[in-house]
Amino acid sequence: MKAGWQVKKLRDVCNTFADGDWIESKNQSAQGIRLIQTGNIGEGIFKDRLEKARYVSESTFEALRCTEIFEGDCIVSRLPDPVGRSSVLPRIQGRMITVADCTIIRFDPKYMVPKFFNYYSLSNAYLKSVSQNTTGTTRVRITRTGLGQISIPIPSIHEQKRIVKILDEAFAMIATTKAKAEKNLQSVESLFDRQLELIFSQPGSDYTERQFHEVCEITSTLIDPRKKEFLDSIHIGAGNIISKTGLLVDLRTSRQEQLISGKFLFDDSMVLYSKIRPYLMKVSRPNFKGLCSADIYPLNPISGIITRDYLFYMLLSKPFTDYAIKGSARAGMPKVNRDHLFKYKAKMPKIEKQKIQTALLDELQEKKLDLSAFYTKKLSLLDDLKQSLLHQAFAGQL
């Protein structure tokens, strides 16, 4: 740490360090004094979310003896995600209070500039300290007392303002670059989606309508993955399939996963379709043999009627996905049952045209994945740059 800097506990640099108010649903209303909730507290930013805003009436405010908050106050959420994220309140029309899971901080002006802490709350050092002070297992959180014990580097007020100015400029530039990268990534994905929709939503006059049971079938039966001949077979579950891409990740064998429940056999002639949460669009064309979860349909395309690739893209198309979602409503987990699946009707071209269309989709898919990887890497590097700047800032190296 730079010479002349101090380290103090968060609680010791505040004039106000208090919980928000306990506001039950019955005490909330559609107008009145604005209730700032944990969902409004982003990572260093305030999320207005005006369409979801809740309020309390003036009479409720007085009856519950609520604590009013103001522009410039720092609000810290003690709930995920992540725990300890903070926002400095901007100018908002009307009066405001906040909820009990938020801590209200008004810094002593001789110690801290609110925006300096706001930037510090984005740093890995701060988030690590918060994580070490959380409680709970199913829902982690940090108590106000624990939050108050977090150590904060304290340079002079003049130095804080200088660092904030540097970070403001750098983060604005990063935000602009990131927005462009995200827009380009979205454009790449939209190009593929438009072509996919064009093929499956606008059939030609020479297309033939067929029900799903006429184009594919399920021939696999459940086997015991504990049998010796299957122990070293690769297993594919829904969690191994990346949505909308067909890519497979984190594959392991039956032995490694210690599987015990029945699984389907599949080979490289099949298309795997996850029947759980059809809106996730988890479909794959594996190029090897293995086992798949009982919650995955191993579909055999019927030769001469449909190609494997056309079946794969059909399962990714919007018309099919809309149909699958419509028939998957249930009390627990959304799931596509076999009867509904095989009643799906689609208009299809002849095999020769299927091959032409899927060759185009394969080319677009490959370009999409390459560009997606490029822009995803760029976004990751921008996040790394932010953390590098934050590390330098709070180590006194800016």
Give the pair of three-digit tokens for residue 240. 């191994």
Q: How far apart are CA 365 and CA 354, in angstroms?
A: 16
Q: What confidence tens digit (pLDDT) does each residue in 119-138 have?
A: 999 999 999 999 999 998 77
User: Which residue intervals of 211-259 are DSSP H helices?
Assistant: 212-215, 254-257
pLDDT in tens, 303-360: 999 999 999 999 999 999 999 999 887 657 899 999 999 999 999 999 999 999 999 9
Q: Is 198 left (phi over 0), alpha (psi -120 to 50) or beta?
A: alpha
**pLDDT average, residue stretch 226-250:** 96
DSSP annotation string for 311-361: HHHHHHSHHHHHHHHHT---SSS-B--HHHHHT-EEEE--HHHHHHHHHHH
Domains of the chain (ranges, CATH numbers): 6-155 (3.90.220.20), 157-180+351-398 (no CATH), 208-348 (3.90.220.20)
User: Over the stretch 195-220, which tens digit does the pLDDT of each residue have?
Assistant: 999 999 888 888 999 999 999 999 99
Query: Residue 108 gets which letter from DSSP?
Result: -
